[in-house]
Amino acid sequence: MGAVLDRPATRLEVAIGRTLAVCFHPVAAWRTRAVSRRLLLFSGCFTASYILVFLALQFLSLLPAP
């Protein structure tokens, strides 16, 4: 069995947990946020998807043509 830790979470641990929660449950995160946080959530998702598509296109351009 693992050791039981009896300590409060650090700010970094809370931030990582909340980020993962938003990724796995975006609808719940959308409902619980204020309007300003919703705008930040939307822009963050848009930016992340833009970067992922850009990186995928860059990766595909490096593959040899058939």
Distance CA 63, CA 14 (A): 39
Structure tokens of 41?
């959530």
Nearest to 33 by CA among 48, 13, 18, 11: 18
Tokens of 24: 């796995």
Task: Say what the pLDDT of residue 59 is.
Answer: 92
Residue-level pLDDT at 3:
65
The predicted pLDDT at position 50 comes to 94
- Taking the domains of the chain in order of start, what are their residue ranges? 11-62
Could you say which residues of the chain have pLDDT below 70? 1-5, 32-33
Which pLDDT score, from 0 to 100, does residue 33 have? 67
Q: Tell me, what's the pLDDT at 1?
A: 53
